[in-house]
Structure 1
Amino acid sequence: MITSSRGGSPVPAVLAVVVHDRKVLLVRRANPPDAGCWGFPGGHIEWGERLFAAAERELHEETGVEACADEVLTALDVLAGGADECVAHHYVLVAVRCIWRSGSGRPADDARAVDWFTLEQVAALGDTASVDVLALAETALSRHLEKA
C-alpha cells in the first residue's frame, strides 16, 4: 500500500508537447522531481489559469519557444516516493499539444538544457528520460503527421 508522507491533494500541472521538423522539444530538468532527466517542458498550473495558457507560459518560461496550445493529448499520474514507500510527490500532468510558432529553444527557469529530438533519439535516452516521455513523443509525432 502506498501512503502519503505529506497528505493533501495531487498537484495539477501541464506538459507542453511541441513538434517541429519531426522532432519533439525536451528539457533537461534542473530541479526535483526528475532533476537531470529529459522531459517535456511544463509545470504547475497557476490559480485561475487555463490549461492552454499554462502550457504556453511554461513552454516560454523554460525554453523561450513560442507556440499555440491546440489540444489535450492525455493526462498522466506521476507519483514519486522514497524508500519507505511513502508518496513524496503526486502530480497529475495534462499533456497539451502545442503548435510551434518560433524559437529554437534556450534553457531558462527550471531547464538545465533544451534540445530537439527525433523519436529514435528519445528512445535512446533510456533512463535519462522521465517516465512516459517516449510514449508521449510517439503520440505527439503521430498526431502531428495526422494533422499535417
Structure 2
Amino acid sequence: MPITNLPVNPNSADASLGKDYLLSVNIGTVDTPQWVPVGGQRSTSLGRTADEIDCSHKTTGGWKVTKAGLRSWSMELESVAVLSDEGATAMDHAFEKGVEVNCKFVYPNGDEFIGWGSVTDYSMETPHDDVATISCTITGNGELEKQ
C-alpha cells in the first residue's frame, strides 16, 4: 500500500524561508509584462523607509514627536553569475544605459510588490576560490504597489 499522508510535526516553526522570496524583472512591455527572475539569486531584500519629520514642540512634554514623511524603497540582490541569464542581462543593460527597470518582489504566499526603479549599483565579484557573484541595487522611482 503506498503512503499518501504523513503526520505534521506540531512543534515545527512557522518561519518564512528566505529561499522562497524572489526578485523578477519585466523584459516585456508595460501592457504585456514578461516577468523573469534574476537567475542564481542567493540573497534578495526589499527595503521600505520613510523620512522622519520632527513635529516636536514646547508642549509635547519634553518628548520628541515624529511623523512619517516622504517614503522610498529599494531592492537588493546577490546572485551567482549566470552569464546567459535574461534577468541579469536586463539589469546590466539598465545600468549601462541609465534606464529604469520594472521590477517585482514576490513573497512565498503570492503577494507581490511591483515598481519602477533605477539600477544604482551593479557589481561583480570574482574570487579565485568561489563562484563569481553579481550584486545589484534598484532604487525606487515612485510608488511601490502591493498587488
TM-score > 0.5, shorter chain as reference: no
State the structure with bigger RCO (CA 8 A, min sep 6), 1 or 2. 1
Instruction: Looking at secondary structure, tell me which structure has more helix per residue.
Output: 1
**TM-score computed with the length of structure 2 as normaliser:** 0.30
Higher CA-based Rg? 2
TM-score normalised according to structure 1 size: 0.30
